[in-house]
Amino acid sequence: MDYKAVLTTAFWKQNGWHQHGVIVHTLRVTYETIKGGDYKMIPASLLHDIGKPFTAFQKPQDIVRKEYSFTDHEEASYQMIKNIPFISDYTKDLVRYHYLIRDIHLGKIKNNGRAEIKQPIWDSLTPELQEDLKRFLTYDDLGKGETEKSRNAGDYGARGADIANI
């Protein structure tokens, strides 16, 4: 395990899409969730990226920018909480699928096959969970803060409500 990557991404720097490390980002997402009145989402807001620092790695371009990339961080987060009995299935589902909308959106843009893999998962979710995931995506995006990359990303970096109609 790359402890430097775990500590760096948890406390200081993720990538150009996030203004802060995972801990401050998580607190910002929780704040936005409370501000939005979605109190049942608070546990998910606190846990949604708990596994993210453990999936951090650097591509060559990340090294130059002193950033990190993450693959399937939402599944890592889910794996960490799935057997905890006092965490609701609803919270576990929000944690596990919180990146699903963006994954499908980016898969379509990049034409990398991920959209075709992830779309059936989305289609299997209840309409209520889909609507909650759309709102949660907005809170997650608001928690990222404003960065140069997010300001200049166009469709690639579209936020929350802009990509929620998948």
Q: Which two tokens stand for residue 135?
A: 């709102």
Would residue 164 count as lying in a domain?
Answer: no
Residue 165 falls inside a structural domain? no
Q: How many structural domains does the chain have?
A: 1
Residue 9 inside a domain? The answer is: yes
pLDDT at 163: 63
Residue tagged 């166009």 (tokens): 154
53: left (phi over 0), alpha (psi -120 to 50) or beta: alpha
Residue 93 lies in a domain: yes
**pLDDT at residue 19 in the model:** 85
Higher pLDDT, 41 or 153: 41
Is 163 inside a domain boundary? no
Q: How far apart are CA 47 and CA 68, in angstroms?
A: 20
pLDDT of 152 over the 80 cut: no
Averaged pLDDT for residues 11-37: 93
Measured at the CA of 29, the angle between CA 114 and CA 79, to 5 degrees, comes to: 50
CA separation for the pair 20, 11 (Å, rounded):
8
Of 3-7, 29-33, 122-126, 130-134, the one with minimum mean pLDDT is 3-7
Q: Using one digit for the tens of pLDDT, what is the confidence trace for 64-108? A: 999 999 989 999 999 999 999 999 999 999 999 999 999 999 999
In a domain, 55, yes or no: yes
CATH number at residue 74: 1.10.3210
Percent of residues, the chain, with pLDDT higher than 70:
89
Q: What is the pLDDT of residue 17?
A: 82
Residue position matching structure tokens 């002193």: 66
- Report the alpha-carbon angle 82-103-7, nearest 5: 60
CA–CA gap between residue 162 and residue 141 (Å, rounded): 11
Q: Is the pLDDT of residue 121 over 80?
A: yes
Per-residue pLDDT, 131: 97
- Does residue 18 fall inside a structural domain? yes
Mean pLDDT, to the nearest integer, of 111-117? Answer: 92
Other Cβ atoms less than 10 A from the Cβ of 39: the count is 9
Q: CA 40 to CA 59: how far, in whole Å?
A: 36
Q: Given pLDDT bands bounded at 50, 70 and 90, which one contains residue 165?
A: low
pLDDT category, 25, cuts 50, 70, 90? very high
For residue 46, is pLDDT > 80? yes
The residues facing 139 across adjacent strands are none
Residue 27, domain extent: 3-154
CB 45 within 8 A of CB 30: yes
Looking at the domain assignment, is residue 161 inside a domain?
A: no
- pLDDT for 101: 95
**pTM for this entry:** 0.88
Helix (H, G, I), strand (E, B) or coil at 123: helix
